[in-house]
Structure 1
Amino acid sequence: MSATMMGTTTGTAPDSSRGIGATAATGQAGPEGSGETALAGVGAVLRLDLIVLRRRGPLLLLPLALAPFIAMDVLAGRLQTTVMAGVALGLCAQYAQGAVESAHHMERLYGALPLRRSELVGARWVEGVALALLSGLVCVPAAALTGDWGGLMAGLLVICLSAALGLPLFLCLAPERALWVWGLCLGAGAGALYGGTPLLAGPVAEVLREPVPAVLAALACPALLGASLVVALRWYGRQDH
C-alpha cells in the first residue's frame, strides 16, 4: 500500500499503537480478548483481500499455466521455469492487491474499520506465506520428475525471497515504485544465489556434507519470511508519523 494511502478520512495522522483509523477495538481487555480481537481483525482483512482479488479474474487462471512450465522443465531436465512461474504468481497477487487499493482508495475503508496496523500486516503476511507454500508445492513434483533437487532448494529460496520482499514493499510503497524496488532486490538476490552457487559448490561440498545444505535452505526460508514480518511491522507502523 502506498505511503500516501495511510491517512484517514478525517485527515488526522493515525496512531499506530491504537489502529489504522485511530479506532481500536474496545472489546475485552485481557490477553485472551486481545488475541481473539487480533485474529478477528486478521480474518476480516483476509476476507476483504479475497473480494479484491476476485476483481482480477485472470489472476485466478495463473495456476492453470503452471502445467506447461512443469512440462518445459521435465523436457529440459532442470527445475527453472516452474520457479519463475511461482514467483510470478506471488508477484501478480501482491501487485494486483496494491493496484486495486490505490485505484479505489481503500485506505478510507481501512481507516473506518477498527483494525490495528499489526492486524493488517499479519493478514498480508499470512497471504504471502500461503503463496510461497503454494508455489513451493508446485515445484516439488517438478523436481521429482526432473531429479533436480538442488534446483528445488535454490528455487524455494528465491520464492521465499520474493514473498518476503513483496510484503513490506507493496504494503508501504506505491505499486509502481514497489515493483521497481522488488525487481532490483530480487534480481540481486537471485543473481548472487545462482551465480555464487557454482563458484562455491566445490569448497562448500568439501566442508558441508548432505543433508546440511538442505537443512540450511530449510532454515533460510522461515528466516526470510520472519524478517519480512518484522520489517513490515516497523515500516508500516511509522507511516504518516
Structure 2
Amino acid sequence: MPITSDRTFLQSAKAREIKKESLVEIAHRELEKRFVTLELAPGSIWKESDLADLVGIGRTPVREALQRMASDQLITVLQRAGIMISTTSIQDQLLVLETRRALEALVSMRAARSALEDERRYLIEVADSIEAAGHRGDVFAYLQFHFETKRYVAQFARNPYAARSLAPLHTFSQRFYFMHYRRFNNLEEVGSSHADLSRAIASGDVKLTEECSHRVSDVAEAFTRDLLLKGQ
C-alpha cells in the first residue's frame, strides 16, 4: 500500500530506528529542498541570516550546512557579498549524469547485498508510493519520496564514501528535473523507473538492480538530451 502522508512516512522512518538528525543535518535537508524546488533560485544571492530565518534554524547549524553545500558546489560563498545559489546548464547536467550513473549503480548494488529485512520491506512500500505519485503527476510527492528513498538507500549500502559523493548529484538532478518536467510530462515514466529500482534492491537481485539503476540513468539522460535537441 502506498505511503499516503508525511506523518505516515515519518512514523515508518522512526520504526526503522533511523538515527536522530542533528540540527546541521536538518538545516542541510531543508536548504536542499528549497534548492531543488527553486525557492532558492539559481544565481540568486542570499544572506546567511536570511537563510537561517527561512528554515527556522539558528545561524550556527545553518553556517555548517552551507559549508557542506559549498563543498558540494551547490552554492558559492562570496566574500562579503553573501551566498550565491549555483546555476545550471544542460551541458553541466550531462556531466552530472555521467558521474551519477556509475555511483548510483555502485550504491544500489551494495544496498541489494547489504540491506536488512526491515529495510527491504521499506523499499517495497516506498516503491508503491513513488509509482503512485508518478501516475498522479504529483511532482512534489514524487520529490518527497525520492529524497527520502535515496537517503535511506545510501544508508542501506553501508558505504559512506560512495553515498557522500552521490548525494549532491541527486540534488542537482532533482533540481534540473523540477525546472523542466512540465515540458515533457514524463513523471509517470520517471516514477516507474525509480520504483522498479527500489523493488530490485529489495529483492536482493544484484544483476536486476544494476539493470534498473542503468534504466534510471537512461531515462534521465534521454530527458536531458531531448532538452538539448529542442533548445532549453
TM value normalised by structure 1 = 0.30
Structure number with larger C-alpha Rg: 1
| Structure whose residues are more often strand by fraction | 2
Compare relative contact order (CA 8 Å, sep 6+) and give the higher one, 1 or 2: 1
TM value normalised by structure 2 = 0.31
